[in-house]
Structure 1
Amino acid sequence: MTRPRHALLPIALGTMLAGGPAPAQVPPPLPGIIERVAPPEAPALGPALLPPEPQATTGPGAARRLPIGRIAITGNSALPASLLRPMLEGQEATLAEVEAARLAILGTYRAAGFAYVAVAASASRGADDRIDLRFTVTEGFIADIALDGAGIGPAEQQVRRFLAPLVGQRPLPHGALERALLLAGDIPGMEARGLLRPMQGDPGALQLVVRLTRRPLTGFASLDNRGYSLTGAWQGLLVGQVNSLTRFGERTELALLRTDANGQGFAQLSQEWFIGGSGLKLRAFAGAGRAAPGSALAALGYLGETRVAGIGLSHPLIRSRPRNLMLTAQVDAFDSEVQTRPFPDAARQTASRDSVRALRLGVEAQAQDAWLAFLPAVATSTATLRLHRGLEALGASDGSGGGTARAGSDFGFTRLIAEASRLQPLLVPAEGWLLSAYGIAAAQWTDDWLPPAEKFYLGGNRLGRGFHAGQLSGDRAIAGTAELQLATEFDLRWPNGGTRLGTQFYLFRDEARAADNGSDIAARHLASWGGGIRLQFDERAQIDVEAVRRLTRTPEGAGVRVLEADGVYLRLLLRY
């Protein structure tokens, strides 16, 4: 789902800046700061959940030849006999070839999406002393569902909504089973594992046993030094989540962000829950924040306040282990106000006010592939495409009326954002080590003069490392990163136990460019390179250390300020 656009540090009007600090000292709007500071979620992908490939039955008579008469296929309802019947009628065939024909029927079912099928071959004497063959197909189906798990509570009802459509599907599509189990595992705090057991009575009848565990409370805390220096380089994010207390499989989340200088803070409350059993999810959120940066802006009495709210839907069009496709839609509101003092000790006055109302539509895709079969492991790719449309209603600002942060802003804007990434394993240089390449490319396109909160923001921990998030922005932007990763694990031992330390060394190169429509200023760019180490102590604790060399020293433009060539960044992440 598209996240809310938080403009935590709204910029002031150009008229305010005429007698104050240079524009580079104005805090960036930073939309979506919660999402920018939060750790990225890795794609939840893996091999398809399929039973083992059927193996041929062999014996001492495999080479015995039989004159084949008629061939009958029975028990098949999903696939026609013409598609399954082997080309053996009227020929001589060995028992091994008959077994191969049986496996071919199983393979045809499997390729059609039905892996839970059995095929038995039998022979009888027919006309002219020939052997008639009968292939009896038993199509598996789920006749009963049993849930196994203590303390699940009312959320069990949402699990049953996801699983109920499986009952009676004959034959059972393995894609439907995989989707239902994954959706059950998508319930916040829930883990679901399925087991199929044969039942007595109707041939092919199966019982699906789902073992459930629930974590009612989850969350994480993150601390890093990638923030804006005037509001506090060290920024801490605390997120608490209450999971699945009702029959809708909901999550209530509270996120709190604060910088070390108390120059910036934000709080957001969100609620999400499922609607029905298709995977459709509704999410609502509201938040507010304040920015009171130091340095020259403090002398101006700069105070920025932000409020956001919205509601959105997401639907997993495809939900499987090897690939996912999500559709999203959201309507949200964003209001920001900047106040300053016209002279010392004077009361603050409004310098600018922006109100953005927007409709946001998106599609998100994830996939694993083995296109380069000679490489040691499968690759993971992601892609997103989002269309943002400003709504000139519901109290939205009018850019032509003045009083906005960017004079002439088009609040009926249209902008398109595309992003793609790929993680490609390359080689195993030594036992227990894996060398991989990782890349991201992203771009935004619009023909409009965007409100500041809708610009494309560069910098932070993804696109433009070595620069704070929002240090460069533009109506149009393009950015990319390339990373070489070397990963392994070490055993850590201490007197009372030990753990496996996941270790990843990496080198990176970032490049980005942004420009504003209708501006005489040429496109500006960011460039940096560096390396670091990511240490994963267990599922709960992670430490990142990164060293950066900035190739761009004046990202805000010539004559503003020159950045140090080198920087070191740290991050501590604790999950609970």
Structure 2
Amino acid sequence: MSKTGITGLKAGTVLAAALALQLAALPMAQAQAQEQDTAAITLNGVTVYDGTALLLFAARVAAERHGTVTADQIAAIVQSIYAEDGYFLADVRATPDGRAIVVTEGVIASVSVEGTDPRTFDRLRGYFDPLIGQPAPDIHRFERAVLLADDLETIAVTAEIDASDPAGAHVRLVAIPEASSAGAITLDNPARAFGDALTLSFNQEYYAALQPGDLLRLSLSHTEGFDPEDRETMGSVTYRAPVGSGGGYVETYLANIAAQHDAFGTLQQTDRAGLTGIIAFGYPVLRSIDRYVYGLVELRGARTEVDVGARRFNSELYALSASWIDGQALADGGALEYALDLTYGQQVSVPAGLDAGDLTFWYLRAGLDFEIPLGFMPDASLRFDATAQFTTARLPAAEEYVLGGQEDLRGFPFAEAQGDSGLSFALSAGRDFRPATGAIQRIRPFVFVDAGRIWNNQPSASETTAISLASAGAGVEMQMDGNLYLRGHMGFPLTDGVTQRTSNPAIYLGLTRSW
């Protein structure tokens, strides 16, 4: 509710009822005087509120603040009500004789775009066309259109409003070109394979490759280890393109690796070989400067190499997922994001004699990310990440919740433990330092602790019913001249895992060069 007390209230009956209670509390003489003052003033041009109730409410506020009621006072209060409710083009003025108040709620009459090619022009105009000619446009719809335009790859967009024409405001969009491509190459080691294997990864992105606002990403990685079984080459192609004028997008993904979107809609590639095809549709339910809400629907087909018991086979399945992702910036400079995801899937077939999970299955996933600055220490922050998965089904191995890896349970290898249901969290704290000289632009030492637990429904002889893991450690991130980025950490298991013991730390080191 706004400071004036009526933000979002469009029904005059609610406002009038509240006013009646307020007037009842006034001395009789003051209430009668206010009604007489208000009766001499008319309010014209109001469509988004009940005009009579709005006039009485504004008069009541004026009487409380000033002891008198004038047209100028009422006009100022009505103007603030429109502004607080987001009607940014509204103009409220009292007539010179003080007997009437005229409200111009505003309209966007035209939109121009500068600095783009014709196809990008059409895309940008598409976001603003629904606003043209609509009476009383609100800042939330306008802000959404600007941000959707700015979300397009290759351009940054600024908007200017000229409201001097009584016939309607003119919006001038200026598109500033940005990079048309970006890439990176990374040399690092797989989780818990420091000194035993190296991975070289290449990523290249092209923006506006086929149409304005799209993204084409090519990824290739090769792992070379002393053990021949650790040698593998994996690649993927991702294409994302905007669809329609509402900000929706379609994304396709093909890879010879097991992958899926996590609860937050982020594409996660695993260490498992296989074939994956994904088509997804995302839509911004809410898009503002400090908050976003996205819905995501994904259809995925996968064939993944898995081990059940002592036997390796290709697990083939199809899965349909729906996700809800809600994120916002916090007033103290922090950020909060949560997500929910429901998946239903079906295996193509299960080899005879193997307990490879139910033919049809489902699971619910949730995630929470929270980051806040540490007020007692400059350039320091605390981050908390948590994810969970729940199901009553016996899941295929490729769909199980896993613990361990480079970002999760960092003291353990990928999939140190996995189960039908599970949860995990990671808590980390670090501080940024920016040396005044030298090749290092930023250095961030950090410490972390992470823990998790998995459960299996009706576990087979080769599975554990449940197990908990925990690890802790420290690391460092460095940004250096030449677009170099170095990241490393050492994680110590705090509990014994399936294959790892507490006395055996894990080391990760990665160097990235971007362009």
TM-score by length of 1: 0.71
Q: 1:526 to 1:264 in 2, by over 3 A?
A: farther
Q: State the alpha-carbon separation in 2 of the partners of residues 68 and 221 from structure 1.
A: 74
- The residue that corresponds to 1:26 in the other structure is none
- The residue that corresponds to 1:414 in the other structure is 362
Offset of residue 277 of structure 1:
0.6
Offset of residue 263 of structure 1:
1.0
- The residue that corresponds to 2:339 in the other structure is 384
Q: State the alpha-carbon separation in 2 of the partners of residues 96 and 258 from structure 1.
A: 77
Deviates more, 1:511-520 or 1:532-541: 532-541
Contact 1:154 1:245 in 2 (8 A): no
- The residue that corresponds to 1:235 in the other structure is 199
1:397 aligns to 2:341 (yes or no): no
Q: Over aligned residues, Cα RMSD in angstroms?
A: 3.3
Contact 1:142 1:208 in 2 (8 A): no
- The residue that corresponds to 1:10 in the other structure is none
User: Structure 2 unaligned runs (5+)?
Assistant: 1-33, 259-271
Q: 1:353 to 1:223 in 2, by over 3 A?
A: same
1:518 aligns to 2:463 (yes or no): no
The correspondence for 2:274, drawn from 266, 282, 306, is 306
Q: 1:90 to 1:412 in 2, by over 3 A?
A: closer
Contact 1:141 1:206 in 2 (8 A): no
- The residue that corresponds to 1:23 in the other structure is none
Q: Would you say how many aligned residue pairs link Structure 1 and Structure 2? A: 455
- The residue that corresponds to 1:82 in the other structure is 52
- The residue that corresponds to 1:224 in the other structure is 188
Which structure is richer in relative contact order (CA contacts within 8 A, separation 6 or more)?
1
Q: Which amino acid aligns with 2:54?
A: L
Offset of residue 388 of structure 1:
1.4
Aligned residue for 1:316, secondary structure, equals strand
The 5 A counterparts of 1:262-411 are 263-289=231-257, 306-337=274-305, 351-370=312-331, 377-392=332-347, 396-398=348-350, 401-402=352-353, 407-411=355-359
Q: Which amino acid aligns with 2:304?
A: S
Offset of residue 228 of structure 1:
5.6
Q: Which amino acid aligns with 1:555?
A: G
Contact 1:232 1:263 in 2 (8 A): no
Offset of residue 172 of structure 1:
2.0
Q: State the alpha-carbon separation in 2 of the partners of residues 566 and 245 from structure 1.
A: 44
1:454 aligns to 2:399 (yes or no): yes
Q: Which amino acid aligns with 1:115?
A: F
1:166 aligns to 2:131 (yes or no): yes
Q: 1:509 to 1:566 in 2, by over 3 A?
A: same
Offset of residue 217 of structure 1:
1.4
Q: 1:153 to 1:568 in 2, by over 3 A?
A: farther
CA deviation string 1:283-323 (max 9, x = no partner): 12211259xxxxxxxxxxxxx85111121111111111221
Q: State the alpha-carbon separation in 2 of the partners of residues 220 and 90 from structure 1.
A: 61
1:104 aligns to 2:77 (yes or no): yes
Q: Which amino acid aligns with 1:252?
A: L
- The residue that corresponds to 2:15 in the other structure is none
Q: Which amino acid aligns with 2:238?
A: S
Q: Which amino acid aligns with 1:191?
A: A
1:532 aligns to 2:475 (yes or no): yes
Identity, in percent, stands at 21
Offset of residue 278 of structure 1:
1.0
- The residue that corresponds to 1:546 in the other structure is 489
- The residue that corresponds to 1:30 in the other structure is none
Offset of residue 193 of structure 1:
1.8
Aligned residue for 1:391, secondary structure, equals strand
The 5 A counterparts of 1:462-477 are 462-477=407-422
Q: Which amino acid aligns with 1:109?
A: Y
Aligned residue for 1:146, secondary structure, equals strand
Offset of residue 267 of structure 1:
0.8
Q: Which amino acid aligns with 2:340?
A: L
Offset of residue 167 of structure 1:
1.4
Q: Which amino acid aligns with 2:341?
A: R
Q: State the alpha-carbon separation in 2 of the partners of residues 468 and 198 from structure 1.
A: 60
Q: State the alpha-carbon separation in 1 of the partners of residues 106 and 411 from structure 2.
A: 56
User: Structure 1 unaligned runs (5+)?
Assistant: 1-65, 125-131, 291-303, 343-349, 371-376
1:198 aligns to 2:163 (yes or no): yes
Q: State the alpha-carbon separation in 1 of the partners of residues 112 and 483 from structure 2.
A: 32
1:119 aligns to 2:92 (yes or no): yes
Aligned residue for 1:453, secondary structure, equals helix
Aligned residue for 1:164, secondary structure, equals helix
Offset of residue 527 of structure 1:
1.1
1:555 aligns to 2:501 (yes or no): no
Contact 2:59 2:69 in 1 (8 A): no
Q: 1:541 to 1:157 in 2, by over 3 A?
A: farther
Q: State the alpha-carbon separation in 2 of the partners of residues 355 and 282 from structure 1.
A: 24
Offset of residue 382 of structure 1:
0.8
TM-score by length of 2: 0.79
Aligned residue for 1:234, secondary structure, equals strand
1:252 aligns to 2:216 (yes or no): yes
Aligned residue for 2:360, secondary structure, equals coil
Q: State the alpha-carbon separation in 2 of the partners of residues 325 and 110 from structure 1.
A: 24
Aligned residue for 2:91, secondary structure, equals strand
Q: Which amino acid aligns with 1:274?
A: P
Q: State the alpha-carbon separation in 1 of the partners of residues 206 and 129 from structure 2.
A: 26
Contact 1:188 1:249 in 2 (8 A): yes
- The residue that corresponds to 1:49 in the other structure is none
Q: Which amino acid aligns with 1:534?
A: E
Q: State the alpha-carbon separation in 2 of the partners of residues 89 and 547 from structure 1.
A: 62
Offset of residue 366 of structure 1:
0.6
Aligned residue for 1:77, secondary structure, equals coil
- The residue that corresponds to 1:346 in the other structure is none
Offset of residue 135 of structure 1:
2.8
Contact 2:328 2:336 in 1 (8 A): yes
CA deviation string 1:212-234 (max 9, x = no partner): 42432123333332436399643
Offset of residue 91 of structure 1:
7.2
Offset of residue 88 of structure 1:
6.2
Q: Which amino acid aligns with 1:386?
A: D
